[in-house]
Amino acid sequence: MNRLPRRMAFRLLKTLPLAAALPVLIAADTPTGGEPGVRAFVLTNIFFAAPEEEGTCTPLADGGVESFYNSLPADEQAAFADPAKRRQLEHLMKERLGFKATRMPPGAENDPDAIRQAAAAAGFPAGKGRTAFANKRISYDSCTDPLDFMQLAKGYRHYDGKIAEGANLDGKHKRNDFRSAAGEPGIDNQVWRALGCTKAFRDAGDRKAARQVLMSARAPTLIELRGVDDLRNDPDVTVNVMAGSDALARDARGGPLLWSSFATDPDPALRATTKGRIVDGVLTTDPVDMRLNYKEQIIDAPRDLRGARISMTLKPDGSVDGRIYGYYTLSSLYASIEQMSQDGASASGISCPGVYKAIHDLADGYPDRKTGRKTAISSALGFVGVPAFAVPGERIAVTGKGAGL
Amino acid sequence: MKPRTILLAGAAALTAASMALAMTREGRADDAGTVTPDGSVRRLTEAQYRRVVADVFGQDIRVVGRFEPDKRVDGLVAVGSSMVSVTASGFDQYEGIARGIAEQVVDKDHRATLVGCEPAAGDTEGQACVSRFFAKVGPRLYRRAMAPAEIARFTAATLEAGRTLGDFHAGLATGLTAMLSSPEFLFRFERPAANGKLGGYARASRISFLLWNAPPDATLMEAAAAGTLDTPQGLATQVDRLMASPRFEDGMRAFFNDFLLLDDLDTLAKDSVLFPQFNANVAGLLKEQTLRTVVDLLVTNKGDYRDLFTTRRIAMHRALGPIYTVPVAGRDWTMHEFPEGDPRTGLLTHAGMLALHSHPGRTSPTLRGKAIQEALLCRKIPAPPANVSFAVVQDVNNPTLKTTRARLKAHLDDEECATCHRVTDPIGLALEQFDGVGQHRVTERGEPIDASGEFGGAAFTDAVALGKLFHDNADVSSCVVRTAWRYATGREPRAGDEPPIARLQAAFPKVGYRMTDLMRAIALSITLDPVPRAPASRQQVAIRTGVPPS
Amino acid sequence: MTNPMLSRRGFMLRGLVGGTAATVGIPILDMFLNGNGTAYAATVGGGALPVRFGTWFWGCGMIPNRWEPKTVGANYDLPPQLEPIKAVQKHVSVLSGFDVNLDGKGNLPHLSGNTAVRTGAAADSWEAIQAPSFDVLIADAVGNGSFFRALNLSADGNPRTSYSYRNGSSMNAASPSPTDFYRQLFGLDFHDPNSAEFKPDPRYIARRSVLSVVAEQRKALVASAGAADRARLDEYFTSVRELESKLALQLQKPPPAEACVRPAEPAALPAGTDLTDTPTRLGQHKLMSGLLAMALACNQTRIFNMAFSAAASDLRQTGETTGYHQSTHEELVDRSLGYQPTVDKFTTQSMVAWADFVEALASVREGDGTLLDNCLVFAHSEVSYARNHDLAGIPVMIAGRAGGKVKNGVHVRGAGEPISRIGLTMQQVMGMPVESWGKDVMRTTKPVSEILV
């Protein structure tokens, strides 16, 4: 059984820290070239925006391993109390709960029959398990099949604060809405309620930390404004959200290189267009469905956001800082959790069953026509970005991703 | 021969060397500036060395080691090549580089093609093979015909080494190492022919290194041997052949690289906090950018040299997009055109040129102005005076001098400083709208930058206007003619060279200032050079050394 | 037909081919003889520990009233810029107030002073330099018999940062990085002097013997060359001879060197590291000093030249627009402090580097003392007060006791005497029979006796 190297799995949500804070633009913020009236930005990080609220989440939500530990009898707990014993504890969890993993046979990545055979040969329960670890493994564990390991959701907690980032997406004031930091009621951000007491998400969403991290560096998202007459005030601009095919380049200080050119992926599914307006340097847009690349180490789980609207501040130094308010589909959201793989979730202190249950319980948008069950959950994503150019790109091959059995 | 003889021979050599040293030791420090190199013994530059090895042994032979640094004299490495020798540590390095090359030439992957023979049944030491090998590569490495006695000496030494090492190929590598360490490989020697003019092989080398920055190819060597280079038609045919080849681009790149001092970009460092967009990769691309732009205009399009200062066309690469803040599609080099009225116009606004002559942390109008005056206008700017009082530069009453122009104003207020700074600073100040790595800016510390000034009696408002003035300035175009001549001959002009140079300068406008025409004219004229110093009669030289006069 | 190549070397080969370690029949090559050709020089195989000579250079001088000690003689006071040498003060003598006199020639900033210090004659352009720097003179005299006639290093990554030259066109390039220096010294050709095993490698025989084909070309080429070219060719052929000597030495078992231990190869800095950043430079310099000390302990050379920073020092602090050199000219004298604070900092850092260098030599035990005891190091800059390109009182420091011939820990004030006196002294301490040195107004016959034992 292959073990995910600890080093790799450990920081799946916090990646590639910058050496310095966001750069100060010393070039003029008007580019020399490019089409007139067009300004583009490459996003260096997209994260779940965390509110600043004191006194919440004491205690924090238990991760899967913590939940398992708490379920052990006292004498066994004593044996694994020492943090140095963490690896053995995870090992015990695997054994006790019956997790399974086997290497993906070479050439079988897109062959469901071969995958099923390999799983069966490795003793997986019939019909269970999924591909994992960037298609290099076939696994059966609390992340691939959370419903089979719901006991690990014990000790999971929802966010217990009153304040959250976000917008009033449904126009209603409901009992379970949040209040914004400025006091505005009716804020819809159930995904924060679901994830906000898990340390990994709290850390990633912290304002300061979010500026230091380069996320999805190999496939960043670009926001392009067209028809801009005045960057401070313009009642009508067109906003394109696009997938970059080129990696973020770093400058000599370790920050993102400004004014780089990014080829954009021509796949229409990765492109969204909407209308917006700029008032006193803040852009807001109409809602639109969008799919944003999220490729980070072994994770390749694009974010499907429905009815998403952008609010973006254009700062004097040329950089941007904004939010995307919309409904994050449960399937795309859970895909990013599942792709962490059990080792990643254990290392990050996440309970896959806990998250799974929470997002499904709290989902509040886009009911399925047949079942009536909500398929998406209100969210507020934060982002930061720097000036860039979007240039036409070549068609790139679509690679296979994780699939069920 | 006995050991004693070696001692004597060694002592004799040492004495001669000591005498030479003694001569230099007694020389007066102040009169040496008048020694003008002949240009008849020129050390190969690193680029030329690599080119010879690639041409003779193939591109995949790796040349590894540290070369003795080339020396720039009066702005040109080509002139410096006539003044340098090889120091002890330099020779150590050359021998090491040579060994590396030789070992590859005889290794299993290469010996079939590059050696092509082995010891045979009747010749177990491989004498015939060794002889054939040196007869084949010797003339190409030495760039001249070789006498049978020379080949025999290398063959004998190689066989000896083979015996010592017990291996034919190891012996061959050792012998080849010696040839690659020989002076006639490392230096270009120009010997007179019987009629006192430059010999055929010397002519071949001159035009080949000028037009291709490479040793003569097989066709050119044959023409030299046949004597066709001694006739104007024969010479012109070869010159035209060389210029029609794609390798002419290499030659032009080498000239402009030397002329514009672009090699310094290879080691340029900038402050990473102040200029995070700059790194060693960017520096290399900036050099390539200027060279490609020059080639595109002056070679591919056979353009007018003066247009270099007004063209809005520039080679662009995606990794340079951030410096120029332009979008760049595609992953390879493309030609980009800035729009009408854009501040990026002409060679003076190339980021590479601007970054080269700046400090690591900021611009330097004086350095930029000086570099442009010296390289592009052929003017010599004297050194700052001794014991200059810099107190005058600081305006103690107003420490908040926001722009560079304000800080340098003191240069122009003091008469002693102004004589030179009036010449250097205005040109540099015109370029202040480009920062220390060549990025465009309109303000400095919040204050708008004034890039106006005067050049050649005419006023200009910014770098674009200055470019136009350069286009129309006669000194700019005659300077490139003079520099190209110096590059071709490897020496400073003497009194007798001024008329031919003046003729070239007068002809330049008549051919529309085309560099291609200029290079052709120079290639045809430099081979008419008489060899400057006639030593003992050529006949005696030939008898004594067994080396045929070339 | 007799092969002239074969018979000339034949006796040597008969003694060595077959891998026997016999050294019978090796001719007494002149390299082992001293200047008079009569006795073995006290070098390789000579017995006594050799005295090594070296120079150390830093750019942009100092601020005189913060560098020059106030007291003269032993136990001199340490002004603020000399604070860093406190731990090694007993090894270091300070020589202040010795001047360069240009006698009307131009002062090419950061060049003329340096040239006068190194060659005893002022010059206002590189091409005008005719005389060798005195380290080359010393190397010519005592450098034979060592594997390397001299070693040149620069910590700034640039092989052109070197003040050792035969004339203005023949500069001895420096090894610009620890990795480069390591490979040159301790790479494949290094023979551990303390290893019991020694087998002469026939490859050295072969390489040396083919070089005679090269050497033979000298006559013909020199005959047909003009005067200037003749000198250049002679220099080239001298270099060939040096390599021949070096290869011959490779065939001899080196005498044991007690302190010699082959060091580990240093890690290379990532490409593009900014070497003008002062802390980075100090790090590189320290690494190279340690490697040089070991090279000396392993008797690889007797002469060395180390440059911490180039003339018109390129040292900077990352993030500052203005580096050391520009600051010397542009920084205002702080009215409350009385000096230029940024300049002061950079000078002091240069003195930290000097202390590191002295320490590196002092930390290698050799014989009854240390390597430094058997060294003579001449440290200098190219100006005194850089702001004015002042050539009066160019700072000089001497370290090492030259095997007992030199006193340390004293401050000598030159009171305007020509600085060529120090160069003369260095040559005399190293055993050269030279009575005068320098040109015109800088010609002198008086050594600095205050540092002589």
Given a cut of 70, is residue A184 above it in pLDDT?
A: yes
My answer on whether C303 and C380 are in the same domain is yes
pLDDT value for C335: 87
Given a cut of 90, is residue B531 above it in pLDDT?
A: no
Taking only the tens place, the pLDDT of each residue in C285-319 is 999 999 999 999 999 999 999 999 999 888 998 88
pLDDT value for C328: 87
pLDDT value for B390: 54
pLDDT value for A195: 97
Test the B interface: residue of A22, A38, A261 with most B CBs within 10 Å: A261
pLDDT value for B527: 75
Given a cut of 50, is residue C420 above it in pLDDT?
A: yes
pLDDT value for B31: 30
Q: How sure is the predictor about C322, in pLDDT bands with cuts at 50, 70 and 90?
A: confident
Cβ neighbours of residue B29 closer than 8 Å, sequence gap 6 or more = C119, C121, C122, C123, C128, C129, C130, C131, C439
Of C275, C310, C354, C304, residue with least CA distance to C111:
C310
Average pLDDT over residues C326-341: 86
Test the C interface: residue of B89, B437, B541 with most C CBs within 10 Å: B89
Q: Say if residue A106 is exposed, middle or buried (CB neighbours under 10 Å; 0-12, 13-18, 19+).
A: exposed
- Closest-approach residue (CA) in chain B for C108: B383
Answer whether A261 sits within 8 Å of B442, measured CB to CB: no
Answer whether A253 sits within 8 Å of B278, measured CB to CB: no
Rounded to a whole number of angstroms, the distance from the CA of A383 to the nearest CA of chain B is 22
Lowest-confidence range among B90-94, C313-317, C329-333? C329-333
Rounded to a whole number of angstroms, the distance from the CA of C87 to the nearest CA of chain B is 33
Residue C265 domain-assigned (yes or no): no
Answer whether B388 sits within 8 Å of C330, measured CB to CB: no
Given a cut of 60, is residue A26 above it in pLDDT?
A: no
Answer whether B435 sits within 8 Å of A26, measured CB to CB: yes
pLDDT value for B382: 81
3-state secondary structure A320-340: EEEEEEEEEEHHHHHHHHHCC
**Nearest CB neighbour to A27, from listed B279, B325, B343:** B325
SS3 C162: coil
Average pLDDT over residues C87-101: 95
Residue C259 domain-assigned (yes or no): no
Beta-bridge partners for C304: C54, C151
My answer on whether C144 and C285 are in the same domain is yes
Q: What is the mean pLDDT of chain B?
A: 86
Looking up tokens 């969890």, which residue turns up? A93
Which ranges constitute the DSSP H helices of B194-320?
Answer: 200-211, 218-226, 232-244, 248-259, 280-295
Looking up tokens 């000198």, which residue turns up? C231
pLDDT value for C191: 84
Q: What span, in angstroms and rounded, lies between the C-alpha atoms of C330 and C322?
A: 9
pLDDT value for C2: 37
My answer on whether C277 and C409 are in the same domain is yes
pLDDT value for B386: 62
My answer on whether C223 and C317 are in the same domain is no
Given a cut of 60, is residue B179 above it in pLDDT?
A: yes
My answer on whether C343 and C207 are in the same domain is no
- Closest-approach residue (CA) in chain A for B317: A261
Q: Output phi, psi for B257, to 5 deg.
A: -60, -40
Residue C446 domain-assigned (yes or no): yes
Average pLDDT over residues B486-511: 94
My answer on whether C190 and C208 are in the same domain is no
* Residue A84: CB atoms within 10 Å: 8
Answer whether A390 sits within 8 Å of B435, measured CB to CB: no
Q: Which residue has the higher pLDDT, A24 or B58?
A: B58
Percent of chain C with pLDDT over 90: 61
Full-model pTM: 0.82
Q: In Å, how far from its chain's centre is CA C24?
A: 35
Say how many domains are in chain C. 2
In the structure encoding, which two tokens stand for residue B416, read together?
């002693």
Percent of chain C with pLDDT over 70: 89
Q: Which residue has the higher pLDDT, C94 or C200?
A: C94
pLDDT value for B545: 41
Q: What is the mean pLDDT of chain C?
A: 85
Given a cut of 50, is residue A28 above it in pLDDT?
A: no
Q: In Å, how far from its chain's centre is CA A127?
A: 28
**Nearest CB neighbour to B175, from listed C210, C243, C322:** C210
My answer on whether C182 and C166 are in the same domain is yes
Q: How sure is the predictor about A171, in pLDDT bands with cuts at 50, 70 and 90?
A: very high
Selection from A33-42, A237-246, B421-430, B530-539 with the highest mean pLDDT: A237-246
pLDDT value for B244: 97
Average pLDDT over residues A179-197: 96
Taking only the tens place, the pLDDT of each residue in A311-334 is 999 999 999 999 999 999 999 999
pLDDT value for B37: 59
Answer whether B359 sits within 8 Å of C323, measured CB to CB: yes
Beta-bridge partners for A389: A261
Instruction: Answer with the one of C252, C287, C321 that is the final residue of a domain.
Output: C252
pLDDT value for C31: 38
3-state secondary structure C199-241: CCCHHHHHHHHHHHHHHCCHHHHHHCCCHHHHHHHHHHHHHHH
Average pLDDT over residues A349-364: 96
Q: What is the dihedral of CA C118, C120, C121, C122, to 10 degrees?
A: 50
Strand segments, DSSP code E, in A27-105 are 39-48, 100-103
Chains in contact with A, where contact requires at least 3 CB pairs less than 8 Å apart: B
Answer whether C207 sits within 8 Å of B158, measured CB to CB: no
> In A, what residues contact B, Cβ < 8 A?
23, 26-28, 31-34, 249, 251-253, 255, 257-261, 263, 389-392
State the maximum Cα–Cα separation within chain B, in Å, rounded to a whole number: 93
Rounded to a whole number of angstroms, the distance from the CA of B321 to the nearest CA of chain A is 6
Q: Are C441 and C116 in contact (CB under 8 A)?
A: no
pLDDT value for B384: 72
Lowest-confidence range among A174-178, A210-214, B372-376, B432-436? A210-214
Given a cut of 80, is residue C115 above it in pLDDT?
A: yes
Q: Which residue has the higher pLDDT, A80 or A212?
A: A80
Q: What is the mean pLDDT of chain A?
A: 88
Lowest-confidence range among A36-45, A101-110, C4-13, C438-447? C4-13
My answer on whether C117 and C230 are in the same domain is no
Looking up tokens 């005592």, which residue turns up? C142
Cβ neighbours of residue C105 closer than 8 Å, sequence gap 6 or more = B30, C112, C122, C123, C124
Q: What angle do CA C218, C220, C222 make, to 5 degrees?
A: 65
Answer whether B327 sits within 8 Å of A391, measured CB to CB: yes
My answer on whether C11 and C133 are in the same domain is yes
Q: What span, in angstroms and rounded, lies between the C-alpha atoms of A325 and A305?
A: 9
In the structure encoding, which two tokens stand for residue A320, read together?
């941007």
pLDDT value for B400: 67
Q: How sure is the predictor about B389, in pLDDT bands with cuts at 50, 70 and 90?
A: low
Of C140, C145, C116, C136, residue with least CA distance to C55:
C136
> Based on C-alpha coordinates, what's the Rg of chain A?
22
User: Cis bond leading into A59, ω under 30°?
Assistant: yes
Answer whether C239 sits within 8 Å of B88, measured CB to CB: yes
Answer whether C390 sits within 8 Å of B11, measured CB to CB: no
Average pLDDT over residues C354-380: 95
Test the B interface: residue of C232, C244, C331 with most B CBs within 10 Å: C232
- Closest-approach residue (CA) in chain A for B443: A28
pLDDT value for C128: 82
Contacts of C234 in chain B (CB under 8 A): 16-17, 20
Lowest-confidence range among A109-118, A284-293, A386-395, B403-412? B403-412
Q: How sure is the predictor about B75, in pLDDT bands with cuts at 50, 70 and 90?
A: very high
Residue C23 domain-assigned (yes or no): yes
Rounded to a whole number of angstroms, the distance from the CA of B166 to the nearest CA of chain C is 10
Taking only the tens place, the pLDDT of each residue in B302-334 is 999 999 999 999 999 999 999 999 999 988 999
Interchain contact B8–C (C-beta under 8 A): no
pLDDT value for A392: 87
Write the CATH number for C342.
3.40.720.10
DSSP secondary structure, C294-313, as one string: HHHHTTSBSEEEEESS-SS-
My answer on whether C159 and C206 are in the same domain is no
Q: Which residue has the higher pLDDT, A262 or C256?
A: A262
In the structure encoding, which two tokens stand for residue A137, read together?
């493994």
Lowest-confidence range among B146-160, B408-422, B484-498, C338-352? B408-422
Taking only the tens place, the pLDDT of each residue in B282-305 is 999 999 999 999 999 999 999 999
Q: What span, in angstroms and rounded, lies between the C-alpha atoms of B216 and B212?
A: 9
Given a cut of 70, is residue B6 above it in pLDDT?
A: no
Q: What angle do CA C320, C325, C326 make, to 5 degrees?
A: 60
Average pLDDT over residues A88-98: 94
Q: How sure is the predictor about B509, in pLDDT bands with cuts at 50, 70 and 90?
A: very high
Q: Output phi, psi for C111, to 5 deg.
A: -120, -50
Average pLDDT over residues B11-33: 33
Given a cut of 90, is residue C16 above it in pLDDT?
A: no
Average pLDDT over residues B211-218: 97
pLDDT value for B38: 66
Helix then strand then coil, in percent of chain A rounded to 5, is: 25, 30, 45
Which secondary-structure segment (H or E) carries C170?
strand C170-171
Contacts of B14 in chain C (CB under 8 A): 30, 241
Answer whether C439 sits within 8 Å of B29, measured CB to CB: yes
Q: Are A51 and A161 in contact (CB under 8 A)?
A: yes
> How do strand A374-392 and strand A260-264 relate by DSSP bridges?
parallel
My answer on whether C242 and C365 are in the same domain is no
User: What is the span of the domain harbouring residue C207?
Assistant: 199-252
Q: How sure is the predictor about C1, in pLDDT bands with cuts at 50, 70 and 90?
A: very low
My answer on whether C83 and C54 are in the same domain is yes
pLDDT value for B530: 59
